[in-house]
Amino acid sequence: MAQTLIAPSVLAADFANIQRDVTMINQSMADWFHIDIMDGVFVPNISFGMPVLKAIGAHAEKPLDVHLMIIDPDRYIQTFAELGAEILTVHYEACTHLHRSLQAIKQHGMKAGVALNPHTPVSLLKDVLGDLDLVCLMSVNPGFGGQKFIEHTYQKVRELNTLRREQGRDFLIEIDGGVTSENALALKEAGADVLVAGSFVFNAEDPLATVAHLKALTQ
């Protein structure tokens, strides 16, 4: 199996020292930056917007994996492309015309992802799997970092992995929320390709060693 990608979630970084934490991710064995954009409407929290993303992008040396937890994301697709997002993920629950949104993301030169909240079944994606580069399964309720991992996620990963295999697709399966060294290997074995880790990395005594440990566990 291919080595699992690790994407530290900048939501858990120290916003007063964001350049320091971006540099730390650059120097680590992490593969992507995971950046949560929240509007306080789709989720009960407001994270950061375009100016902060631009500042992160100015220093980031790894791909920006941007996760939009916002209503009406189509309004901002071009903006996020201009800000350097390599992967842009929208929520199934926030897109009335999901196929159109995915096509717009790709037309702007980005990889297209869809995120599912914990209560949303993976079967709802079967008609758009051919349009996807990534499916992000929320393993906590979206909006806040530091939450407890929802165990049902393993079953959803297995179901999505089966759908991927049956359809002959090559999209990546990403897990977002509550990822630690306790569940990383089990998630990989269930079929996950990308693990988003926020508090577990940034709250660690040695974030560089923590990222390296996650990589070693899942290689």
Each residue's pLDDT expressed in tens, for the chain with a length of 219 residues: 578 999 999 999 999 999 999 999 999 999 999 999 999 999 999 999 999 999 999 999 999 999 999 999 999 999 999 999 999 999 999 999 999 999 999 999 999 999 999 999 999 999 999 999 999 999 998 876 667 899 999 999 999 999 999 999 999 999 999 999 999 999 999 999 999 999 999 999 999 999 999 999 998
Judge whether 176 counts as a catalytic residue.
yes
Would you list the domain boundaries of the chain?
A: 5-217
Nearest-angstrom CA–CA distance, 157 and 122: 9
- Pick among 3.90.330.10, 3.20.20.70, 3.10.180.10, 2.60.40.2550: CATH of 5-217: 3.20.20.70
* Active-site annotation holder among 36, 39, 65, 193: 36
Query: H-helix or E-strand containing 103?
Result: helix 98-107
Q: Is the pTM of this model over 0.85?
A: yes
The reply to whether 36 belongs to the active site is yes
Given the residues 21, 131, 133, 176, the one annotated as active site: 176
What does the alpha-carbon distance between residue 31 and residue 138 come to, in Å, rounded to a whole number?
A: 19
Secondary structure class of 112 (helix, strand, coil): strand
